[in-house]
A and B are shown apart, each in its own frame.
Chain A
Amino acid sequence: MLKTKLLLTTIFMGSTVFAQGPAPEAPPAPGGQGASAVDLSVKQKPTLTPADMINQSKEYFTGMGAVVKRIQTLQDQAKREKDIIRLNCVTDKLVQARVNVNIAEQSMATMQESVARNNEGEQTHEFTRLTIVNQKVTVLGAEAENCIGEDLSFVGATRIEVEVDPNIPQYDPTQPGSPFIDITRPPSASPID
């Protein structure tokens, strides 16, 4: 009887366990603003093959390139509008983005070498680095979009309005009077001719 109860309990619990669906996936990490197509989640180390890493890295480069291009467009726009405040902000983001792209290029080269040498540890390290750099560039792109220009903080060019009292004469009263001809009637007289 005890063995039968144990067997039934095991079957019952097992069916209960296997009745549950697979564990839900972890919710996606909160993405940055801008393009929602970029997947910022870091895949688990055991699920990526070296080819996957390289392909993903190439996608990262495509995305970073688009972000740098967008920041350059914003820079040109600020230059045209002569918005110095916004230009400084965007230029700062562009410089940082380019530095990060350079880092990503170095990581890409190192990762490809490690793939060739079948150095799994180094592959993972460089891929992680690439992922972080991609995230940074994406954030810089979002920050560049939100650079505040003069149109939000500038209240307008200084304008001077002069209000002249209409009672004030338009001519210059400090000038001496102009000479005027004298054609007044002479006094009566009987002159000597």
Chain B
Amino acid sequence: MNRRFALSIGLGALLAGRVASAQEVTIGYAGLPAKSSGESNTGIQISDGVLLHAGFGVEAGYDTNVFYAPTNTIGSSIFRFMPYLELTNATRTGPVSKELTFDAHAGLQYRHYGNSVISNAGYADSWNPNAGLSLSLGGAQFGFAVADVFARVEDAPYANSAGTGGVPAKGIGIERNNNQASIEGRWSPGGGRLTSILRFTNMVNIYDQNSQQSYSYANAMTNTLMLDVAWKWLPKTAIFLNVSQSFVDYLNNSAATMNHLSNSYPLYVTTGLRGLLTEKTSAVLTLGYVNGFYSNGASTSGFLGSTYLDLAFTARLTQLSRAVVGYRHDFLNTVISNFAYEETVYASYVQQIAGRLGLDLSGRYAYLSYQGQTGDPTQQGRVDNYFQLGATLDYFLRNWAYLGVGYSLLDNRSNIAADSYLKQQVFARLGVTY
């Protein structure tokens, strides 16, 4: 397997990075891997059919704008360390069974800012655990899968909050805990041309209420029921129909209402094409109807507001390189108003060089238009133009050990000056994914 393609998502940097839908593509700087790369001949065989992967990653670098300030930025050295463990049912040469697969992983990221100003304010250190479990059963006709993923991320607060010298007071950053559990059943009668998936997903999102900028009013539980029916008119190309109904409930309704957030019942009815166009190109083309069904306040409306569009195109230029471009028109729940319309364009390029070097370049532009009344009146009518760039160059000492450099750029240009910022990070990194 191509090493760079296989290096998985670093949860510690997902504050900035976004995963492109329907593809395992990370946009922005991915950070340190939280799981094994899937390379063969790695891992420790602890019993028949059970493989233990272990690894760690270390990053050291510089952050130009720790508190996402528009001006008077405060920079700092930054250090991150993340060990992880992963248990799968496999051998060092491949999976044991296609009927039963399981994967359990856990990691813990430690982040430290070296600037004494930041340390004195209490924002120097954070511990960010993550864990996941997945189990999949089934054969050719019926399948069943359960999965659960948890992550906690603590990041420095925004500088425009109360504080002096550009350093927010209180010493507690923005803490977000997210747990997502899902269960699904798959049915592929006959020759497997027609595949149906019924999936239920429960997501709980909790913000720490003691943080400087407490978003605890936006704590919410989202339940989603999805039915996907796909017809494979070619072995790896399918036309699909997807219906998804969600129920978003704010756990503290009174606090949410005070901040002009309301429960919603988003409905997506989409159709399109997924899979290979040629042996080297693949696409996800999705078009459909969407409605937020917000119980109070603003809701999605109009032709564009009720349209969902997702276009993603992947090209394997060579066996060692891959390019992805995509566009998405959607809406999303936000913490400052009911929702925002989002237009996103992204691109990614991954290249393996001379069998030892891996290059990863990605970028995203997102246009966010916040709709409805905002809890903070200074944010009314806010429009963000969000630019994100990420680059990584790794040298693989072995297929399980790497060292390299990374770069991240986050640039938000908002019509509200206080919300604009430019943040850049550079890293030197090394790690083991065995």
- On whether A192 and B21 interact (CB within 8 A), knowing A165-B279, A184-B15, the answer reads no
The verdict on A190 contacting B276 (CB below 8 Å), with A183-B11, A183-B153 known, is no
Closest to B68 in A: A188
Nearest-Cβ distance from residue B130 to partner chain A, whole angstroms:
9
Q: Is B418 an interface residue (CB 8 A)?
A: yes
Contact B258 A192 (CB under 8 A): yes
* A182 CB, min distance to chain B CBs, angstroms: 6
Q: How far is the CB of B142 from chain A (nearest CB, A)?
A: 15
* A-B pairs with beta carbons under 8 A, tally: 133
For the complex, count residues of B whose C-beta is within 8 A of A: 72
A134–chain B nearest beta-carbon distance, Å: 65
Instruction: Tell me, in angstroms, the Cα distance from A132 to B302 when the chains sit together.
Output: 106
Expressed in whole angstroms, the minimum distance between the Cβ of B330 and any Cβ of chain A is 13
* SS class, residues of chain A in contact with chain B: loop
**Docked complex Cα distance between A57 and B336 (Å):** 117
Cα distance A180–B368 in the bound complex, in angstroms: 21
Assess whether B72 is interfacial by the CB under 8 Å rule.
Answer: no
Residues of B within 8 A of A184 (CB): 14-16, 18
Q: Is the CB of A179 within 8 A of B178?
A: no
Interface string of A176-193 (1 = CB under 8 A from B): 111111111111111111
Q: How far is the CB of A183 from chain B (nearest CB, A)?
A: 5
Which residues of chain B are near A46, meaning CB under 8 Å?
none
- Selecting from A19-27, A68-76, A167-175, the interface stretch reads A167-175
Task: From known contacts A168-B236, A173-B276, A187-B335, infer whether A179 and B376 are also in contact, taking CB-CB under 8 Å.
Answer: no
- A193 vs B376: C-alpha distance when bound (angstroms): 11
B232 CB-CB contact with A under 8 Å: yes
| B176 in contact (CB, < 8 A) | yes
Please report the C-alpha to C-alpha distance between residue A174 and residue B274 in the assembled complex, in whole angstroms.
5
Residues of A bordering B, CB below 8 Å: 165-169, 172-193
Given contacts A168-B279, A178-B147, A183-B14, list 7 more A-B pairs with CB under 8 A. Answer: A174-B237, A175-B197, A176-B226, A176-B240, A177-B21, A189-B336, A189-B375
Sample 11 A-B pairs with CB under 8 A, ordered by A number.
A169-B276, A174-B230, A176-B22, A176-B228, A182-B205, A184-B15, A187-B336, A187-B419, A188-B68, A190-B213, A191-B259
